[in-house]
Amino acid sequence: MARLEQRISRAIWRSAARDWLELSDLDVAIVGAGPSGMTAARYLAERGFRVAVFERRLSFGGGIGGGGMLLHKVVVDESALRILEDFNIGYSRDDEEGLYVVDASELMAKLAAGAIDSGVRMVHGVHVEDVIYRDGPPRIEGVVVQWSAVLLSGLHVDPLFVTSRAVVDATGHEAGVLSIVARKVPGVRLQLEGEKSAYAELSEKLVVERTGRVMPGLYVAGMAVAALYGLPRMGPIFSSMLLSGKKVAEAVAADLGSPGS
Ligand code: 48F
């Protein structure tokens, strides 16, 4: 039998290569493993769509882990309880009427577990640095990916491509995919208004309302919605992030029809 070192390497090369062959063509590419991205991913995978989440960090959760100013808790209101229950995430009622407290680590872990158990591929350490487009009329047909480590190194290395029927920008406050599209895709009139100062109640409502399709093939969820439409921020209340993830999943599913068609 070959040496253990050789067998370890071969097992990893073989399995990763198989995964990447599947990842190279998807129904839905979700950018960002924050609350909105992971929620969207699960509800899409559950419907049978081939979904991957590309996350530039080596961890899940985006802004969840920091809780409220590093206190390990976030809050939601009753509108998000159904989603917490779908993911089997615990919550406790607080003295503040209508608010429920969730442990940040449980939220991160169970959103990720729920997505993975539904068949989502989570890919860490991969940065979406561009999109694939076709014109007349402009349409987004996938993403361009690069190892985060390569970008951090400053080396000039050409990226690879992932085609997909839909791309969801769930990159949070910076709206990374939308910024690229606004700058680099010809014929798209997209202007990022930039997130506004805190007005939690209004932001919670409007982020969900404005979640959805931005142009053919491109969708937005979570705080990227606020960056796009100039909506206020809401701090560590996460109802709208979960509801936005669920809403974008419904919008993508409605547009795509059946998986793989
Ligand atoms: O920021 P993030 O948690 O986005 P979200 O789902 O939730 C926002 C809340 O966490 C919080 C808030 C609301 O209560 O104000 O901030 O809108 O997660 C975004 C994830 O996307 C990754 C980033 O590392 C983070 O984990 N990300 C950002 N740009 C890229 C990316 C990129 N270009 N490629 C891959 N991953």
Is 19 part of any domain?
no
Q: Is the CB of 56 under 6 A from ligand 1?
A: yes
Q: Is the CB of 128 under 6 A from ligand 1?
A: yes
For residue 261, is pLDDT > 90? no
Q: How far is CA 184 from the centre of its chain?
A: 21
Q: Is the CB of 223 under 6 A from ligand 1?
A: yes
Is 105 part of any domain?
yes
Q: Is the CB of 115 under 6 A from ligand 1?
A: no
pLDDT digits (tens, 9 = 90+) for 221-237: 999 999 999 999 999 99
Residues with Cβ within 8 Å of 99's Cβ and at least 6 positions away in sequence, in order, are 75, 76, 77, 237
Q: How much of the chain exceeds pLDDT 90, in percent?
A: 97
Is 194 part of any domain?
yes
Q: Is the CB of 245 under 6 A from ligand 1?
A: no
Distance from residue 30's CA to the centre of ligand 1 (Å): 11
Q: How confident is the model at residue 258 (pLDDT cuts 50, 70, 90)?
A: confident
pLDDT digits (tens, 9 = 90+) for 137-174: 999 999 999 999 999 999 999 999 999 999 999 999 99
Protein residue with least CA distance to atom 19, ligand 1: 171
Is 169 part of any domain?
yes
Is 21 part of any domain?
no
Distance from residue 108's CA to the centre of ligand 1 (Å): 12
Question: What are the backbone angles phi and psi of residue 186, rounded to the nearest 5°?
Answer: -65, 145
Q: Residue 222 sits in a domain of what CATH number?
A: 3.50.50.60
The atom of ligand 1 lying closest to the CA of 238 is: 14
pLDDT digits (tens, 9 = 90+) for 61-107: 999 999 999 999 999 999 999 999 999 999 999 899 999 999 999 99
Q: Is the CB of 100 under 6 A from ligand 1?
A: no
pLDDT digits (tens, 9 = 90+) for 101-143: 999 999 999 999 999 999 999 999 999 999 999 998 999 999 9
Range(s) of the domain holding residue 45: 31-49+61-125+140-256
Mean pLDDT for 170-180 is 98
Is 135 part of any domain?
no
Protein residue with least CA distance to atom 26, ligand 1: 62
- Two structure tokens written together for 156: 């000039």
Predicted TM-score (pTM) above 0.85 = yes
Protein residue with least CA distance to atom 25, ligand 1: 62
> What's the structural domain count of the chain?
1
Which stretches of the chain are assigned E, i.e. beta strand? 25-31, 51-55, 73-77, 92-93, 99-103, 121-124, 126-134, 139-147, 160-169, 196-198, 212-215, 218-220, 232-233
Is 2 part of any domain?
no
Which of 73, 223, 234, 238 has the most ligand 1 atoms within 8 A of CB, as the residue to mutate? 223
Q: Is the CB of 222 under 6 A from ligand 1?
A: yes
Is 1 part of any domain?
no
Distance from residue 172's CA to the centre of ligand 1 (Å): 4
What angle, rounded to 10 degrees, do the helices at 239-256 and 200-210 form? 10
